[in-house]
Amino acid sequence: MEVIPAIDLLGGKCVRLYQGDYNQSQVFNDDPVAVARQWEAEGATRLHLVDLDGAKVGHPVNLDVIRSIVEAVEIPVEVGGGLRDRDAVAALLSTGVRWAILGTVAVEQPDLVAQLCGEFPGQIIVGIDARNGKVATKGWLETSEVLATELAERMAQLGAAAIIYTDIHRDGTMQGPNLEALRDLAAIAAIPVIASGGVSSLTDLLSLLALEPQGVTGAIVGKAIYTGDVSLKEAVRAVGQGRWQDIPPDFGSSALA
């Protein structure tokens, strides 16, 4: 399982939001490129970038910063935020980004997702961000009536390379990931699922590692590595040395109660 550090971009700076609320943002670093280099040096095998400005207005805004990050590191980069048409995805991938993450269009334009999966095979990831099991769109500013599990199944059928699942109520709260929702979604999607939101400790990461045989192949870590509650270097080492076969079956079961 990969431990994937998140870099959220707002106004060209590295920030974190609380439960997706743009009015509750905290700037952690004015230099996202330096942050990217740091996470690579600490053992990250990929980076997760979110163009928060882009997600809000509906088109990429921080392409120059994203390009600078891609050029500064050797590990692959995945990016989401504001990718709502073919040209935006093509422009993003032309910067050297490995994976484009689609969110809103997965709900509103599934035919476009199918088209992009065909044009850019293996490079389209679908981000499913949910409140109470229902998919949120437009930078989490709106909530649809679409169930996350139903959308995951549909996107897998259309050719998505993976699903990134975020429980918005857990994001930025450091309350631990929603293991039950992840388990259900991975079982239905039948493609790799990357967990996002709520990771606050190595224990949380080991709980996710226990879901690896069920299809949870990665964990995005944000606020906890910026506050120092989790050392990225130690997390990468712990997950790399751990094996899901060695984890007790009931490990993390309290989080599922």
Residues with a catalytic annotation lie at 8, 129
In DSSP notation, the chain reads -EEEEEEEEETTEEEEEETTEEEEEEEEES-HHHHHHHHHHTT-S-EEEEEHHHHHHTS---HHHHHHHHHH-SS-EEEESS--SHHHHHHHHTTT-SEEEE-HHHHH-HHHHHHHHHHSTT-EEEEEEEETTEEEETTTTEEEEEEHHHHHHHHHHHT-SEEEEEETTTTTTTS---HHHHHHHHHHH-S-EEEES---SHHHHHHHHTTGGGTEEEEEE-HHHHHTSS-HHHHHHHHHH--GGGS-TTTTGGGG-
